[in-house]
Structure 1
Amino acid sequence: MSTLEFDGLRALVTGGASGIGLAIARALLARGARVAVLDRDVTAVQDDADLVAVTADVTDDTAVRAAVAEAVERLGGLDVLCNNAGVGAAGGVEDNDDEEWHRVYDVNVVGPVRVTRAALPALRESSHAAIVNTCSIAATAGLPQRALYGATKGAVQSLTLAMAADLLPEGIRVCAVNPGTADTPWVGRLLDAAADPAAERAALEARQPHGRLVSADEVAHAVCYLASPLAGSTTGTTLAVDGGMDRLRLRPPAPRS
């Protein structure tokens, strides 16, 4: 008997060609799953024989339905859906126009809805169905210059609870992972654009109690726990991977004399 907890299970990871999504895909593979990644650009993974790569923009319902159907066919079914695709947004409440608000909501909130709708028929056929949404510390903590982004992630957290309530009677568990500021390509681009990238990175690291950025692998391990058949009694749960940022209030270091 295999000791790999995902042995025989099939998973789909959106935004899976880079960053946290790719880390999730790799972690699921390592635990025995067959994995498909859905992304707008799958160039980075299309030659990887271990992954099934399908192309779609999560804002295009027709493309999403076709890509999910292809992934399900090539995997032979679906047991785990990781709604990870998303975009960032910077600025206060007055800094983005209506078009940008609609664009980011379309990706971060309606995107997971589209993918889930397309995946539900296959998930309903699974004995170990689980959905994990990638949320954010921005859903539970007020972060400077993250009004739009935080609003979308707050919506994802509420959506996760509603989905969990609706789908539990069908045997489908729904959870979310809330990363703190993670060492991802998007954060890297923000740092590169800062007037003093080193100082900005130090500030981001300092605001997390454990004193560093969260790694993509750490988020992936949390997703694997939530999606695992071993977590069969865990649903409607949001798991923070944030170095204690949401819940801990450490005393500042004593000033040096």
Structure 2
Amino acid sequence: MSRSRIGLIAVIAVLLVAISGLSGYMIGFNKAEDQFIADNPSSATAIKANLAKVKPGTGARAATARPDGTYDSLIQGPRGELKSQEDIEKIHRRNPEDPFAIGAVDAPLVISEFSDFECPFCARYNTQTEPSIMKEYVDKGLVRIEWNDLPINGANAMAGAKAGRAAAEQGKFHEFKTALFAEAATKNGHPGFVQADFERFAASAGVPDMEKFKADSQSTKYDGAIAQAQQYGSGIGISGTPAFLIGTKFLSGAQPWETFEAAIAEQLAATVQ
């Protein structure tokens, strides 16, 4: 084996160790933070006081289209290189060209969601909890939500991720996601959606060029981006969906609205200097 190849393997190994530490950091940070609040009841009062001082973002709520009218459907991964636990905020992209994000690009708080279109718990979150987050926080410029593909439930999940990116390329990702999860929530277990279903959801979402959607969603153009997104998610320690990084607080699973509300309030309050 050449020295250059040995050196490359060593660099990759160091990077993977650093990134994998982030998942432990998320859990450890959460425990320390929660324990502090439990030990200091007055901190709850401070959170409420700080919430009143939070200033909403005023930046664009939706992604910026490219000159040809399409959107960057290959976006994935973090904002910057993850070298240590201190880089946890870089998981939030804050990219104005991100068609998988909704909410002011300069919102004080970002929720990074790791999700799978074939996941029944993702459907539960998207139909039971996210609408409240949208109403109470996103629509008011306080929170931005960024989607990350993590298709871990087989071939249908991969097909769904490709269809989602095909819709994103035409600026209709969130409408597509809403239509898909609304129907998925009526199923028992994994929905098992196939191409014909994705085309129905795209039409319902108002995707303007359905022929392009059909071709794109069945092509290999998104395969590399989806594979990288999967590696990224697993690389930072996420093994199940849905999973969320709310500011610097990690939540796993389709938790009830009250759990999200408390985490969002805590993290928003922390943005006040």
Q: Aligning the two structures, in what range does the TM-score lie when normalised by the shorter sequence?
A: under 0.3
Q: Which has the higher contact order (CA 8 A, sep 6+)?
A: 2
The two structures have a TM-score, normalised by structure 1, of 0.26
Between Structure 1 and Structure 2, the one with more strand by share is 1
Greater C-alpha radius of gyration: 2
The two structures have a TM-score, normalised by structure 2, of 0.25
